[in-house]
Amino acid sequence: MADQTSHGIGGLSYDTSKRTWPNEANVFIALVLLILGFEALGQILPYMDNQSMLLDFESTRDGTILNMARIRIVILQVAIIGIISLGVTQVIISGGIDLSSGPLVGAAAMIVMSFAQTELVNGQLNPKAVFGDWAFDLPIIAPILVGLAFGAFIGAINGSLIAFTGIPPFIATLGMFLICRGISQWWTKGQPVSFPSDQFAAIGSGMMPVVWFALLAIVLALIMKFTVYGKHTYAIGSNEDAARMSGINVKRHKVMVYMIASMLAAFAAIVLSSKNLTAQAGMGQFYELYAIAMAVIGGVSLRGGRGSILGTVLGAMVFGVIQSGFTFIKLDAFYQLMAMGAIIIGAVVLDQYRQRQSSLR
């Protein structure tokens, strides 16, 4: 082999042609293939009338031939769960799992909204959710701080349980799943909380969820790649004993990982309740599973140690394209769920197969 270099003792060699192909590239290729697939279906399926999913030749409203309306929807519908999946990604990289994020969104939304209500709606008095009149029209910082503090609190409990009692993350966060769902129903005894102040409503209006998702994704990506926090997260997920022997405070680090994950979920709750202008006890259903699915589709290994924020963002895009694509080809909702489940399983099987191939070379 021409590009093989050999080094003295040990006969160790390194073949540059076997340089590892970044996993994110595979996810990106999958994304492109999926889009092409749906475009092809739009042409092939008889009832589709030769429609295109992402292109729009008739209307040039946005000055492009892209169907910007649909592209916006694709991104917008994954942005809020995407914010959660950023936190879940670092939890999975650390070798754990967080099942509590969906119910946490519900509980945090209820709590946040009860601090964000405005007094008068169209001249009518807004029904009080929990507190007295003092809780109306609070400065915007109040609901945000309360929400993030609640997230940090729940995350600290998750992390402490996992770090100090040694119970599996699955069990700890499954318990927290039920506790949070309970909190979200108990907070107002099941009543929805609605009508926030204009300031609060601005957080999640229009394309703002996408802006938050993009900003947080960049921050998290930088943290995971360039800081000690990120390096230790990968190290713990890769080999916890080695991390401990190397002097990393594994317990404290795990608490931080779960706190950051829960704070991101709480922030997603702020954005979601602001976008919907209301909070209901059932909000965030299945979000924890979708967030995990985005990370897994994006190549984050459930065994820990492997994956990236970029992968998860691409995974979220794949998720959005699949959802929109199914709607585009007019697939019924129940088929959508089945197909989505099959795709998630397929992604993990493919990843495992690929990992085995690369270790055999």
Partner 1 sequence: MNDYILETRDLTKHYGGVHALEGANFKLRPGEHIAIMGDNGAGKSTFVRQITGVESRTRGEILFDGKPVRFDGPLDAREAGIETVFQTLALADDLDVPDNLFLGREITKWNFLGPFRVLDYKAMRQATLEGLERTAVKIPNIKNSIRNMSGGQRQCVAIARTATFHSKLTIMDEPTAALGVQETAQVENIIRTLKEAGEPLILVSHNMRQVFDLVDRVVVFRRGRICADLDIKAEKITGEDVVSYITGARTQAGFEDAA
Write out the residues near partner 1 by the rule CB under 8 A: 5, 7-14, 20, 223, 226-229, 231, 234-235, 237-239, 241-243, 245-248, 253, 256, 305-306, 358-359
For partner 1, give the closer residue by CB, 220 or 272: 220
For partner 1, give the closer residue by CB, 80 or 248: 248
The answer to whether the CB of 117 falls within 8 A of the CB of 229 is no
CB of 228 to partner 1, least distance (A): 5
CB of 161 to partner 1, least distance (A): 21
Q: Measured between alpha carbons, how far is 148 from 79 in angstroms, rounded to an integer?
A: 18
CB of 252 to partner 1, least distance (A): 9
Q: Measured between alpha carbons, how far is 52 from 339 in angstroms, rounded to an integer?
A: 21
Cβ-based burial of 343 (10 A; exposed 0-12, middle 13-18, buried ≥19): middle
CB of 345 to partner 1, least distance (A): 24
For partner 1, give the closer residue by CB, 13 or 59: 13
CB of 248 to partner 1, least distance (A): 5
Distances (CA, A) of 248 to 162, 202, 233, 236, 252: 16, 41, 10, 9, 9
CB of 301 to partner 1, least distance (A): 9
State residue 189 phi and psi, 5-degree precision. 55, 35
The residue behind tokens 């979200």 is 184
For partner 1, give the closer residue by CB, 64 or 249: 249
∠ CA 71-77-82 to the nearest 5 degrees?
110
The answer to whether the CB of 129 falls within 8 A of the CB of 193 is yes
